[in-house]
């Protein structure tokens, strides 16, 4: 028999939003190995509801959306919780990444994402903790 001891007071809650079950399972395993409590959603409305109820310490979003859907979804997530949002994105341009950041993503990782890079970035964000308040006017970048 194998037992797993988790100190609930120090464990981080991570919400993974993915429309790819195999990828979500991989991310879940990686975070479980780092003593995180992992929630996984494949539906956007369920993800927003889970974010509202659980206020996760980190959100990993790996879901295929067009620009308008991505914008709306990120705004909804940002309104419901304070945890950083890591967006995995199939971006063709820097402008798409900047737009995702403006809509609420704290960091965008261009797919395909190396699992080690995702974990390093996620653990770094978890070390920073929650936002104290939403950022309404992000820094503007001119290219």
**Residue 135, both tokens:** 């950022």
**Do 58 and 83 form a contact (C-beta atoms < 8 A)?**
yes
**pTM for the complete prediction?**
0.81
The 3-state DSSP class for residue 86 equals: strand
Classified by CATH at the fold level, domain 13-128 comes out as Rossmann fold (3.40.50)
Q: Where are the alpha helices (DSSP H) in the chain?
A: 21-32, 44-54, 67-80, 94-103, 115-128
**Residue 20, both tokens:** 């790819």
**Do 39 and 54 form a contact (C-beta atoms < 8 A)?**
yes
Domain ranges of the chain: 13-128
**Residue 36, both tokens:** 């995180």
Strands 85-89 vs 107-110: parallel, antiparallel or unpaired: parallel
In the structure, how many helices (H) and strands (E) does the chain have?
5, 5
Q: Along the 143 residues of the chain, how does pLDDT read in single tens digits?
A: 444 444 445 689 999 999 999 999 999 999 999 999 999 999 999 999 999 999 999 999 999 999 899 999 999 999 999 999 999 998 778 888 899 999 999 999 999 999 999 999 999 999 865 444 444 544 455 55
- Residue 122 dihedral angles phi and psi, to the nearest 5°: -65, -45
């Amino acid at each position: 028999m194998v037992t797993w001891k988790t100190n609930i007071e120090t464990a981080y809650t991570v919400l993974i939003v993915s429309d790819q079950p195999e990828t979500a399972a991989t991310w879940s395993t990686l975070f479980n190995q780092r003593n995180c409590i992992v929630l996984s959603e494949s539906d956007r409305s369920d993800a927003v509801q889970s974010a509202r109820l659980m206020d996760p310490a980190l959100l990993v979003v790996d879901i295929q959306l067009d620009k308008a859907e991505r914008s709306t979804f990120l705004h909804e997530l940002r309104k419901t919780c304070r945890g950083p949002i890591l967006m995995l994105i199939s971006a063709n341009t820097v402008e798409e990444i900047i737009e995702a950041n403006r809509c609420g993503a704290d960091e965008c990782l261009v797919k395909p994402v190396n699992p080690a890079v995702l974990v390093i970035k996620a653990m770094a964000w978890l070390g920073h903790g929650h936002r104290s308040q939403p950022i309404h006017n992000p820094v503007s970048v001119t290219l």
